[in-house]
A and B are shown apart, each in its own frame.
Chain A
Amino acid sequence: MRLILGYFLLYFGAIFLFLGAFGLIRLPDLYTRMQASTKSTTLGAFASVLGVGVIHPDWFVKCLVVALFILLTAPVGSSALMRAAYKTGVPMTDSTTIDEGKEFFGEEQEGEAK
């Protein structure tokens, strides 16, 4: 029973790790790619690590620490990376409808220019 749950979590994670990398290849521009890769790989790693914890109950606490660590740090890193990409002017895909970032960062840069 424990093994079944553990392997279920492991495979659940593996499928999402694969989907995150697949989205990285298939989607058209950097921003949408980051959407897919951040969400999918985070949940994928979270579920896989928890799966190992379930298969080895002695290690469960340690695996939980690693899993929570991944869940909390991944969004921060991707936010910083996406902002950097936007400020250096990475192009967006053609189907983009609205872009309020110009205005948002325009105010800020005037404030920062000394």
Chain B
Amino acid sequence: MEKAGKLNKYIFTVVVLYVSWILLTATTRADELIVGLIVSLLVAIGSFDYLSEHGLSHLTPKRVLYLIIYAPYYLWQVILANFDVAYRVLAPSMPIKPGIVKVKTNLKTDSGKLALANSITMTPGTLTMDVKDDTLLVHWIYVKDETVEGATKEIGTPFEKYLKEIFG
């Protein structure tokens, strides 16, 4: 994906800043909305080059749709992860077999890797330690498979399916 033009980036930054303003003030009063728009326009002048790389091309309908599908799936995984933790903490025998394994990923963009790392951290029994190129270092509380391929299949693949569509 090639870099977007200046105006494109500027508009994207303004949209993001304005949405943040509306969420933070949490009101629909006219004066707040007008001040927010002015502030977003001013702040974006100085910051659009740092905050955006691909501009509006991020906002295709397909990506938004996959994001809407992904959010409940992610929340469900978080809840499952917590029952898993509750079981491990409360069970008298404490079934843990921790280890550190490597996981490969196919995602190319930095934001995609960040999302994958966060997803892995919040799912049952795994916590990302570091990302380098296409390898993630993951601490696993109950190691089922020590090889790189097996761990990748067990940990990374379920999320990559969605994240590949969202972040490319």
Direct contact of A and B (CB under 8 A): yes
* Interface, chain A (partner B; CB < 8 A): 16, 19-20, 22-23, 26-29, 31-32, 34-36, 38-40, 42-43, 46, 59, 61-62, 64-65, 71-72, 75-76, 78-79, 82-83, 86, 92-93, 95-101, 104-105, 108
Taking CB atoms, residues of chain B closer than 8 Å to A108 are: 132
Dominant SS among interface residues on chain B: mixed
| Residue ID in chain A nearest B117 by CB atoms | A79
Which of the residues A36, A38, A83 comes within 8 Å of B130, measured between beta carbons? A83
Across the A-B interface, give the 6 residue pairs with the lowest CB-CB distance, nearest first: A75-B121, A98-B99, A61-B26, A23-B89, A62-B26, A97-B99
Which B58-102 residues sit within 8 Å CB-CB of chain A? Answer: 78-79, 81-82, 85-86, 88-90, 94, 96-102
Q: B30 contacts the other chain (Cβ, under 8 Å)? A: no
Which of the residues B79, B85, B122, B125 comes within 8 Å of A23, measured between beta carbons? B85
Taking CB atoms, residues of chain A closer than 8 Å to B88 are: 23, 36
Taking CB atoms, residues of chain B closer than 8 Å to A32 are: 96, 98, 141
Cβ of B89 and Cβ of A99 under 8 Å apart?
A: no
CA distance A72 to B130 in the complex (A): 17
List 19 contacting pairs A-B, 8 Å CB cutoff, sorted by A.
A16-B82, A23-B85, A26-B89, A32-B141, A35-B125, A35-B126, A40-B86, A42-B122, A43-B79, A62-B24, A65-B23, A82-B127, A82-B129, A82-B139, A86-B100, A98-B100, A100-B137, A101-B100, A105-B130
* Interface, chain B (partner A; CB < 8 A): 23-24, 26, 78-79, 81-82, 85-86, 88-90, 94, 96-102, 117-118, 121-122, 125-130, 132, 135, 137, 139, 141, 143, 146
Given the contacts A26-B89, A38-B127, A97 and B139 also touching, CB distance less than 8 Å: no
Cβ of A101 and Cβ of B137 under 8 Å apart?
A: yes
Cβ of B26 and Cβ of A99 under 8 Å apart?
A: no
CA distance A72 to B129 in the complex (A): 16
Which of the residues B85, B129, B146 comes within 8 Å of A97, measured between beta carbons? B146
Which of the residues A22, A95, A99 comes within 8 Å of B96, measured between beta carbons? A95
Taking CB atoms, residues of chain A closer than 8 Å to B130 are: 79, 83, 104-105
CA distance A108 to B133 in the complex (A): 11
Which of the residues B81, B102, B139 comes within 8 Å of A31, measured between beta carbons? B139
Q: Beyond the given A72-B118, A105-B130, please list 10 additional residue pairs across the A-B interface where CB-CB is below 8 A.
A: A16-B82, A31-B98, A38-B127, A42-B122, A43-B78, A65-B26, A75-B117, A98-B143, A104-B102, A108-B132
